[in-house]
Amino acid sequence: MIDKLLIANRGEIARRIMRTARTMGIRSVAVYSTADAQAAHVREADEAYEIGPAPARDSYLNMRAILEVGRVSGADAVHPGYGFLSENAEFSEASAESGLLFVGPPASAMRTMGLKDRAKILMQKAGVAVVPGYLGDDQSAARLAEEADRIGYPILIKAVAGGGGKGMRYVECAREFESALESARREAKAAFGDARVLIEKFISRPRHIEVQVFADSHGNCVHLLERDCSLQRRHQKVIEEALAPGMSSVMRDAMGAAAVRAAKAVGYVGAGTVEFIVDGSEGLLPDRFWFMEMNTRLQVEHPVTEEVTGLDLVEWQLRIACGEHLPLRQSQIVANGHAVEARLYAEDADKDFLPSTGRLEFLRFPEAVSGIRVDSGVCEGDFVQPYYDPMIAKIIATAPNRAEAILRLAGALRNVQIAGVTTNAAFLIRCLTHPEFRQGAIDTGFIERFSDVLLPNLSSPPPEIYAAAARFLVTGSHGLMTDAEGYNPWASGDGFRVSGRSRQVVVFEHIDGRLEVLVEFYRDRPEQYLVSGSAVRIPNGVTVSRVASGQIAVMYDGATFKVKCFDPFISADSHMDRADEVVAPTHGKVTAVLVEPGQKVKRGTPLASIEAMKMEHTLLAPADVCISSVEVTQGEQVKEGATIVTFSKDDAA
């Protein structure tokens, strides 16, 4: 058995692996970049070693530095987690050469399944159906466009290497193909070092259902049932569940058998996930699913499988890596109840899911009660870095049935309180409580189809949020102290008077200029709040905190609203919109500059692309304008708010 385990990863998955290692009596060795020196996974490990600067390519993707830590620490095995080097065949081989047991599949399986075109050819030979598409070596734009026409629109452009939605583009019609291909190739090259793509038919009302498989080195292979990962945005999973809604036992057996055939076809060992695209237009039918890809690692969403099966998948990984037989036979693997997982990200759903970076100035997760599990990589005071995936935590709810699990998860997310970064918690709640989702009527287009409800894009916080902020500012707390609690009028900021009611007015900045909140205090009954003249009641469960920017963060129902007091001494000019420039919406790297000074462009024309947290964001012209200057160059790192281009409307076309 393993005595000391090197974990070649960070954040939530590193802590997750440590948790199982600890219960098995295995010591853990962490690695960290300079940006992660004070991270939670570093603090919790038995040993920790720095491996390089903040960018992943210089640290968590630095094989030589990681393997040197294995040598210095005396580790006997290395667990790659997910992402980074987890599906890198060279790292698997290099680990073995340096004397480290690699907790993962053989390098040959990684190479085969890591290339989607090769994997699909092999699956066809193994009798596993694949989606119609083009897998050829001719990567010319003309040939790819020709194949897209042959297959018939809509189609998907997908990176041959990698996964996670990177290098993937949905193309509705032929006129969109060229720009989508260029963008997909850039993103694929940046993420995987391989710009090759394949073309695939887009399935109407597609469901994304995957099967967890495990194989040992003795020729045994089983599946641990399925997970539904259909709720996605930008082809990245948002909410996952086990088991899949509407899945019959016949369909489950057919998908499970296909997944096992796929794993055996490549001589698989360890944990893997076979992902299928399913035509859900007429329900789940045994002849309407196709192999999509295989992830040769532990998945982000593995907790829902653990919750319904009662198994520890990391423990299985470690035991199988040590040469043990599979702990259970297929007939012994059964489901109990239903589990749903939501990925809590530092991102702004109202701004096209832009990543949000910064310090977690206030952080409260749901209480660890029965049926609620929180897997997180951060603690209060930690920083969400611009260099890595912005996931804060995975919130998992388990219950006897799907309806109760959804209700429990939505309730848990309402108790998430975070200030310092913007999160998607409120968006997740809206997804979970949508009638169609609760009925199981889901597919990969769900979020786009119901975007008007799921992404309301509120222009301003509701009145009760301003009332809660006013109460905090006036009282310095969530409410007034009573006489029995030692009320001192001379130390209070509530506008105390000897007789009559006390009144305070707090003025906030608002989209329309400013907003007034009148707070009235009475010694014999609760305070009252008038927001722009209308009475407002502050709901229960509101938490308020002051953040570093000087703003007031009001946390309620999974959302965090930031409001700012109006300062009459600040020049009105400082409140003016920056109407003559386009700025970086987040920290990132400029991957493309698409215009030049003097060029006249129409509204919606792409100006530049920025890569942030492994995703590419294209900046568009806000109107018909003439480009005055370009302030950045390709490859340059920029901060949030940095000027990208300036323009003039007077000379616009």
Mean pLDDT of the chain: 90
Q: Which pLDDT value is given to residue 500?
A: 56
d(CA 531, CA 470): 10
Six token digits for residue 594: 């698409």
Superfamily of domain 337-457: ATP-grasp fold, B domain (3.30.470.20)
Six token digits for residue 468: 């809660």
Quick one: average pLDDT of 329-347?
97
Q: Which pLDDT value is given to residue 525?
A: 65
CATH number corresponding to 107-131+207-335: 3.30.470.20
Q: Which pLDDT value is given to residue 35?
A: 95
Quick one: average pLDDT of 336-365?
93
What region, left, alpha or beta, does residue 44 occupy, with left being phi > 0 and alpha being psi -120 to 50 degrees?
alpha
Q: Which pLDDT value is given to residue 640?
A: 79
* Topology (CATH level 3) of domain 577-648: OB fold (Dihydrolipoamide Acetyltransferase, E2P) (2.40.50)
Compute φ and ψ for 464, nearest 5 degrees: -65, -25
Q: Which pLDDT value is given to residue 484?
A: 41
Q: Which pLDDT value is given to residue 478?
A: 45
pLDDT digits (tens, 9 = 90+) for 106-118: 999 999 998 877 8
Asked if pLDDT for residue 175 goes beyond 50, the answer is yes
| Domain 4-103: CATH architecture, name and number where available | 3-Layer(aba) Sandwich (3.40)
d(CA 91, CA 64): 9
Six token digits for residue 625: 């304008």
Q: Which pLDDT value is given to residue 16?
A: 98
DSSP states along 66-108 = HHHHHHHHT-SEEE--SSTTTT-HHHHHHHHHTTPEESS--HH
Q: Which pLDDT value is given to residue 495?
A: 56
Q: Which pLDDT value is given to residue 575?
A: 40
Q: Which pLDDT value is given to residue 493?
A: 54
Residue 623 Cα to chain centre, angstroms: 31
Q: Which pLDDT value is given to residue 572?
A: 41
Strands 625-630 and 600-601: antiparallel
Asked if pLDDT for residue 304 goes beyond 90, the answer is yes
Quick one: average pLDDT of 95-103?
97
Is residue 436 very low, low, confident or very high in pLDDT (cuts 50, 70, 90)?
very high
d(CA 388, CA 191): 12
**Half-sphere exposure at residue 7, Cβ-oriented, CA atoms within 13 angstroms:** 31
Q: Which pLDDT value is given to residue 579?
A: 66
pLDDT over 90, % of the chain: 67
d(CA 159, CA 119): 13
pLDDT digits (tens, 9 = 90+) for 14-34: 999 999 999 999 999 999 999
Residue 95: C-alpha distances to residues 85, 295, 397, 635 (Å): 11, 20, 36, 32
Q: Which pLDDT value is given to residue 257?
A: 97
Quick one: average pLDDT of 3-16?
98
d(CA 93, CA 436): 47
d(CA 356, CA 149): 39
d(CA 589, CA 606): 16
pLDDT digits (tens, 9 = 90+) for 472-504: 888 765 443 334 444 555 555 555 555 556 788
Q: Which pLDDT value is given to residue 492?
A: 54
Q: Which residue has the higher pLDDT, 198 or 350?
A: 198
Asked if pLDDT for residue 651 goes beyond 70, the answer is no
Q: Which pLDDT value is given to residue 498?
A: 56
Is residue 532 very low, low, confident or very high in pLDDT (cuts 50, 70, 90)?
confident
d(CA 619, CA 455): 20
Same fold, 4-103 and 132-201: no
Secondary-structure breakdown of the chain: helix, strand, coil percentages, each rounded to the nearest 5: 30, 30, 40
Q: Which of 360-364, 522-526, 634-638 has the lowest mean pLDDT?
A: 522-526
Domain coordinates of the chain in residue numbers?
A: 4-103, 107-131+207-335, 132-201, 337-457, 463-563, 577-648
pLDDT digits (tens, 9 = 90+) for 211-255: 999 999 999 999 999 999 999 987 889 999 999 999 999 999 999
Is residue 574 very low, low, confident or very high in pLDDT (cuts 50, 70, 90)?
very low
d(CA 326, CA 333): 11
Strand-pairing partners, residue 32, are 50
CATH class of this structure's domain 463-563: alpha beta
Q: Which pLDDT value is given to residue 474?
A: 84
d(CA 135, CA 626): 42
Q: Which pLDDT value is given to residue 480?
A: 38
Residue 89: C-alpha distances to residues 81, 114, 260 (Å): 14, 9, 22
d(CA 144, CA 148): 6
Catalogue the active-site residues.
297
* Topology (CATH level 3) of domain 132-201: Dna Ligase; domain 1 (3.30.1490)
